[in-house]
Structure 1
Amino acid sequence: MIDTSASIFWREIFQQPTAVRDCLKANREIFQEIAAEVKRRGIKTVVFVGRGSSDHANLVGRYLFETRCGMIGSICAPSVVTAYKSDIDYSNVLMIAVSQSGGAQDIYQVMKQCDEQGGLCVSVTNVEGSLMTQAGKYKINNHCGPEMSITAGKSYLTQVTIVTALAAYISQDPELLQVLDELEEIVETSLKVLEPQVRDVVRFYRNTEHMILSGRGLMDALANEVELKIQETSYLDARCYGSADYRHGPIATAMRFVPYMFFIADEKTNYCAIDLLKRLKEETHIWCTVVSNKPEIAQMGDTSVVLPENCDGIRGVFAGAIVGQMFSCLCSLSRGFNPDSPKGVSKKTVTV
C-alpha cells in the first residue's frame, strides 16, 4: 500500500467535492450576467487564454463552446500579442483568461488588448486582487481555497467547472445544466470508487520511463492534462496524442514495451480510440490501461479503471481528471518522489 498520508496533493484531491460546490454557488450570478451580455451583443467567438493546466481546462471549454454554444473557439497564443505585437481584432469576442495564480504577465497583456478594443473579457483566477483581476469586465474566482501543493488539482477541476458553467448558461443546454446540478455528487462518487482501482493499476507503471496517453475530443483534452500531471510529478516521459492524430505519423514509433493509457468515455468519439487500440494490439501487441465508463470497453485493456456508469462526455472529464490526479500522485510516491513539489516548477510561473 502506497502511503499518501503526508501528501498535500493527495489531501487536496479529496477536497474537490466541496471545491466544485463552492465554486458554483459563489459564481452562479456572474455566470448568468456573462451569458446575458454574450447574447445581447451577439458574440459568436470565444478566445481562451492560459498556460499549463489552465490551458488544458481551456481545451475542455473549447469543445463545449463549439459543440453546445455554436461559437467558434480559439486557443490564444499570447506571443501573438507580447512578442509579435500583432494588432489582432478582439473587439467582438468573449475572452476567457485562466490562471490559478492570476499573475501571468503575458495573459494580462492579451486581456488588456481585448479591453482596449471593446471585447468582453473574463478573468478566472484563484487569487483575489492578482494581476489578471486588474483587466477584464468580469472577474471569476475559483473559490476552491488556497492550493498548497504546487501540482494543480482542485484549481484545475474548478477551472473546468467554470468553463462548463459558462457554456451551460450561454447555450442553455439541458444536459450541461443538469451536469452542474450533479457535479458535487459526480466528484464525490468518483473519489470513492476510483481509488482502489487506481492503486491497483499504478504498480505496473512504477519502473517504466515512457508511456503514451490517448483519447479523442473531450477525452483528448483530458489526456493532455493527465500527461502534464504525470510528467511533473513522476518525471516520466509521458506523451499525449489524439487518437485520430496518432495515425498520422506517430504510430510508426509504437513499441510493444511502452505502455499506453486510453481514455474512452465519450460516446461521440469512443469509436476512434477503440479502433486505434485494436490496431495497436494487432500490429504491435501493446500493453495498455483503458479508462472507461463502460465495462465492456474497459476490459479491452490489460488493466482498467471503470468510471461511474453515468460519467460519459463532460461527466467523464471530471471523473477522468480524478483518475489522472490519483495516478500521478501514487506513481510519484511509488517512485520515491514528492508530488507536492516538482523540480523546476513554481506555483506562479511568469512568462512574457
Structure 2
Amino acid sequence: MPGLVQPPPTAGRAMAAEVAEQPHRWERLLDRSGARDSDLARAVSLVQAYRPRFVLLVARGTSDHAALYAKYLFEILCGLPCGLVSPSTMTTYDATPAANGVLMVGVSQSGGSPDLVRSLEVGRARGALTLAVTNRADSPLARAAECHVDVLAGPERAVAATKSYTAQLLALYLLVDRLRGGTGAAAARLPEAGARVLDQEAHIARLAQRYRFASRLVCTGRGYSYPTAREAALKLMETSYVAAQAFSGADLLHGPLAMIDPQVPVMAVVAEGRGGDAMLPVLDRLTASGADILTVGRASAADRADATVVLPDDVPEELSPLLEILPFQTLARHLAIARGADPDRPRGLDKVTETL
C-alpha cells in the first residue's frame, strides 16, 4: 500500500509552491478587478443589462466545486435561483433546452473541456447570456462565451488544482458582489488572512501522520463550506489515493452516519456564521458515534474534536471557503508524501481531462 515506497526527493514541490502562491494571486486579482476597463467590470455590465431570471453553472471536477460555491453566492446574495448543468444532456443526448433569461456560467481552469464548450454554445444559441470564468483568456471556453473573467492564477504545473481553485472562488465572489452593488472591499483582508493560515503548515504536517494509514475518511460541511468539503475529499483522493467521501452535514445524518466509526475519520468544516452553527449538532452526533473528528474553522468547535485547525475569524462567512481549503491542500500534499506518493503527479491523471 502507499506509505511503503519512498517518494522522490522532489515530490510535492510544485504543489507546495502553488499553494504558497495563493495570497499573492488573490492580491493580483483584487488589484486588477478594480479597474473600470477590467474583464470583470465588462461582465458585470453585460449581466446587469441582461437582467437574468435564473443562473445555470457548468463545470467539471475541482471547478464544479467552485461552481457550487457560486450557486450559494447567487442564491443568497443576489436572490437568483441557480442550478448546476448536466453537460451530457447537451453532448451525449443532443438536447437543446430553452435558455431565455438564463445567465450560463462556465467555470474551468483550462477552458479546454469540449463538453463545457458545447454547453455554452447551446446555451448561447438558445438565448442565454454566456460567461466563462477560466485561467486562460485564449481558451476555447472563453472564445465560446460572450464575456470572460480571467482568474489570473498563472500557470499551474501540479496536476492537483490549488491556486486556480481559490482564484476561481475569488473571481466568482467579486462578480456576485458587484452584481449586488458591492465593491469587493470585504475581500481585501483575504491575502493576509491566507498567509496566516499557511503559517500553520508545521501543525498540519503533523496531522498528516495521524491519517497516514486511513483507508477511508469523510469530509463534511454545510452552507458555503459544503463545496470546501467536496474539494477537500477530491484533493485527498487524487493525491493520497485514500477513499474520501463528501457529504453535506445534513445529508450525513440521513443514512451515511451509519458507516461512521472510530476507523473512519471525519474532517468537518465548521465556519464562523450560520453554516458553522448548523454543523454543531452534526458534530454532537458524530461524537456520539465514536468518530475521530478533525475540525477546520472556528476555535469554539475544538472541544468537540480530536484535532483541529483554527482559521482567522475576521472575514465574512461567504469568503471563508478561500481560507478553509488551504489546510486541506496542505494536508493532502503531506499525506501523499507520507504514503509514498508524489502529489505533483497523481497516477493515471492529466492536468486537463477532456470529457465528451
* TM, length-normalised to structure 2: 0.92
Please name the residue that 1:179 is paired with: 186
2:103 is equivalent to residue 94 of structure 1: yes
> How far apart are 1:311 and its partner, in Å?
4.3
Residue equivalent to 1:322: 326
What percentage of aligned pairs have identical amino acids?
Answer: 29
Length-normalised TM-score, structure 1: 0.93
Q: 2:219 aligns with which of 213, 218, 240?
A: 213
2:346 is the counterpart of 1:349: no
Is the CA contact (8 Å cut-off) linking 2:43 and 2:149 kept in structure 1? no
Report which stretch shifted further, 229-238 or 202-211: 202-211
Q: Tell me, in whole angstroms, the C-alpha distance in 2 between the residues paired with 1:120 and 1:266.
A: 35
1-structure distance, mates of 2:321, 2:203: 17
Q: Within 1, Cα distance between the matches of 2:275 and 2:108?
A: 29
The number of aligned residues is 346
Hey, what's the Cα distance between the residues in 1 that align with 2:201 and 2:315?
Answer: 16
- The answer as to 2:278 corresponding to 1:272 is yes
Q: Quote how far apart the aligned CAs of 1:199 are.
A: 1.9
Q: Which residue of 2 aligns with 1:285?
A: 290
CA distance in 2, matches of 1:300, 1:46: 38
Aligned to 2:258: 252
Q: Which runs of 4+ in 1 moved over 6 A?
A: 2-5
Instruction: Report what 2:3 is aligned to.
Output: none
The reply to whether residue 68 of structure 1 matches residue 77 of structure 2 is: yes
Q: How many Å apart are 1:299 and its aligned residue?
A: 2.9
Measured in 1, the distance between the counterparts of 2:105 and 2:197 equals 28
Q: Give 1:187 shift.
A: 1.9
- Where 2:105 maps in the other structure, the secondary structure is strand
* CA separation of 1:27 and 1:296: change in aligned 2, threshold 3 A: closer
Shift of 1:12: 0.7
Which deviations, in whole Å up to 9, do the C-alpha atoms of 1:44-70 show, x marking residues without a partner?
211111101101011111101100011
Alignment of 1:18-33 (within 5 A): 18-28=24-34, 29-33=38-42
| Residue equivalent to 1:189 | 196
Query: Could you give the per-residue CA deviations for residues 319-349 of structure 1, whole angstroms, max 9, x where no partner exists?
Result: 1110110010111011110000111111110
Counterparts in 2 of 1:1-352, with a 5 A limit?
Answer: 7-28=13-34, 29-173=38-182, 177-192=184-199, 194-282=200-288, 284-293=289-298, 295-311=299-315, 313-352=317-356
Flag structure 1 segments of 5+ consecutive residues without an equivalent: none
8 Å contact from structure 1 (residues 219, 266) kept in 2: no
| 1:38 CA drift (Å) | 2.2
Determine helix, strand or coil for the equivalent of 1:291.
Answer: strand
* Paired residues of 2:218 and 2:246 also in contact (CA < 8 A): yes
Structure 2 gaps, min length 5:
1-6
